[in-house]
Structure 1
């Protein structure tokens, strides 16, 4: 029994020490002891194990004073790599990051149909390719995380993906029984919120991320933890009804928020009004610059509909941080000021609201971060990437 307790405490200490090394990027043994309140002997033992594992490295810091140069500890970022996958409707994005979350490779694969077996074989072929490509690193691909645009149960099985019309699929096990790697399956909006927490808002304990692209997905953290609900379906606020007599939705109801406040709904509606199919973001940006009256009228309606849903969310959850993931809102300079002016709830409130810097890459960044956190087995992950660049190759 005592051996079991000792091993458990050693594991906790190891996770604590490693998480602090990652958070501070470079730190000395003495600083680690001071921050963690662990003895110098414990720190020395844990650091020795981490060095032997190949997870951290030692570096002599530049030092102008007399005496020994301090030895700094940092994560060995190229010891292994994480694979994040955004499994969307018409395409799949694959991004490989190092252990510090820096993207090192990205591919974009167009989908021809929604056939589950065909997409499963595509995923297997791609993942095997990355395993081979990064096999020379110490740990290779340390984990694969997949963001699904649908409902994912707490056991990581897929309940329903509306746009693919998938029901009750066990993608995790279907992949793991063929591939020699651990696979995580998560709702894409949850991964987006995890990315914002890990990379941008380290101190925010109550954060909501709202993805507004093909539909509306919401991931939220309360007291720093993802909230998933009883079955894992929490966050499907894109299907809260804002117009009871409104448009029919794939979910079976009428007037759902995402039918009025998602980017696809805006673009489809604008294309119809302008009689211009396949409008791009660049097309819309040019029309905004020209102050095209039809576009400006549609943007005004869009922002009002976005604000209706945000007011409801604020009243329900009272968030500290709201992050809107939308390329469309970035094209309209006045968007945020107009949204803020519409958030007039007096009962509840929020602290800050932003447009995400990650854009459509939020899901894969969160997926990579989740694989890293689980591989390192640490309680909390904080990463800093100065500028995220993706080198997308269309396959």
Structure 2
């Protein structure tokens, strides 16, 4: 039983109600009372507040049954918008979603600088564009979530971004003082794991998501929250050693997992050996379709070393769900079954191993979802994912 002062209890009850409305999509007051175990009087008072605030809407269902037509409650998705940003080397992606996490606009900007002051101004200019365009909604832009491909401390200070050469950057403060919008800074792999939990894996509170693109990032959701470690830097699984005295890594060690099981290694090798400067997935797909023996062998090695690291992660964390985010795995026939076939240990336990169906958009969608979670002040979101193209800003 929840105890405390009246304001605190009201806040907790409000959170339960919003969470259930989002989860069910549409729900009546009577059913809300049943699933939350709150009295009808409490439900009526809270719903009245939410209607007045414009956060929920009422819909009267048409039906032929005898009796009163049920009035259903649902979230007002257009009451405000969340802006997600993926800040990566050479490119910044933007996605604006409604309060149900559905993208309504997206765009990207290619950048040829790593200088913080220049990138800060690019971010400010684009955020202000979105802010000005969506002033007509009740709450406008309710927050900005930013995905960082590097180390983010618990206080949201950007500790280190390898490709940009940034150290100890207070991006959150620098943006908030200019735009007057709440900003949330998070590691890209964490946001990918959050997107997987929010949009797909609603029935688990223990999920790992490994992103395998330019390196290996590991996002960890434990009990519906990020597992961050002591300073917030947990998840650097790409730098666990899988080959003692193996290939040199920029981190200073040799034989790191990401040197053998990230897509970057395959792209780097093939670009050099086949003299293709802008090697893309389409090249690899073409070679695989032709049965290219060298490319096939590279993929088999990729899967082997990936399995070695996954075995370690499974034994360390015992996740319910483990999601792999890799375009190469999506392209390669039977990749998932081959990985599962390499996980022989009788002590390795997990419920589900899957390849992400969101892909590279997961971190920016996770950023939007994180903003929505904070704005609505709910413990967790259960949203649906619609893979559709969106117009540019």
The two structures share one fold, judged by TM-score above 0.5 = yes
Deviations 1:244-288 (A, max 9, x none): 322222222222111111111111112223232321111111111
Deviations 1:59-90 (A, max 9, x none): 01121112211000000000000000111112
Tell whether the 8 Å contact from 2:79 to 2:139 is kept in structure 1 after alignment: yes
Which residue is 2:388 aligned to? 389
Segment drifting more, 244-253 vs 365-374? 244-253
Aligned positions of 1:268-347 closer than 5 A: 268-347=268-347
Segment drifting more, 49-58 vs 82-91? 82-91
Segment drifting more, 72-81 vs 340-349? 340-349
Work out the number of aligned pairs and report it: 390
Q: Flag structure 1 segments of 5+ consecutive residues without an equivalent.
A: none
Which residue is 1:142 aligned to? 142
Distance in 1 separating the partners of 2:209 and 2:282: 25
Distance in 2 separating the partners of 1:5 and 1:342: 54
Which residue is 1:10 aligned to? 10
Is residue 211 of structure 2 the alignment partner of residue 205 of structure 1?
no
Q: Flag structure 2 segments of 5+ consecutive residues without an equivalent.
A: none
Q: Secondary structure at the match of 2:121?
A: helix
Which residue is 1:116 aligned to? 116
Deviations 1:21-65 (A, max 9, x none): 111000000000011111100000000000000000000112111
> How big is the shift at 1:243?
2.0
RMSD: 1.3
Q: Secondary structure at the match of 2:249?
A: coil
Segment drifting more, 282-291 vs 360-369? 282-291
Deviations 1:183-236 (A, max 9, x none): 000001000000000010001121100111111110111222210000000101
Distance in 2 separating the partners of 1:70 and 1:380: 27
Distance in 2 separating the partners of 1:392 and 1:227: 35
> How big is the shift at 1:331?
0.8
Distance in 1 separating the partners of 2:186 and 2:368: 12
Tell whether the 8 Å contact from 1:270 to 1:298 is kept in structure 2 after alignment: no
Tell whether the 8 Å contact from 2:104 to 2:391 is kept in structure 1 after alignment: no
Which residue is 2:243 aligned to? 243
Q: Secondary structure at the match of 2:160?
A: strand
Aligned positions of 1:94-109 closer than 5 A: 94-109=94-109
Which residue is 2:349 aligned to? 349
Which residue is 2:373 aligned to? 373
Distance in 2 separating the partners of 1:311 and 1:270: 27
Tell whether the 8 Å contact from 1:102 to 1:388 is kept in structure 2 after alignment: no
Aligned positions of 1:178-193 closer than 5 A: 178-193=178-193
Q: Secondary structure at the match of 1:159?
A: strand
Distance in 2 separating the partners of 1:375 and 1:53: 13
Segment drifting more, 95-104 vs 213-222? 213-222
Q: Secondary structure at the match of 1:248?
A: coil
> How big is the shift at 1:297?
1.1
Q: Which runs of 4+ in 1 moved over 4 A?
A: none
Aligned positions of 1:214-253 closer than 5 A: 214-253=214-253
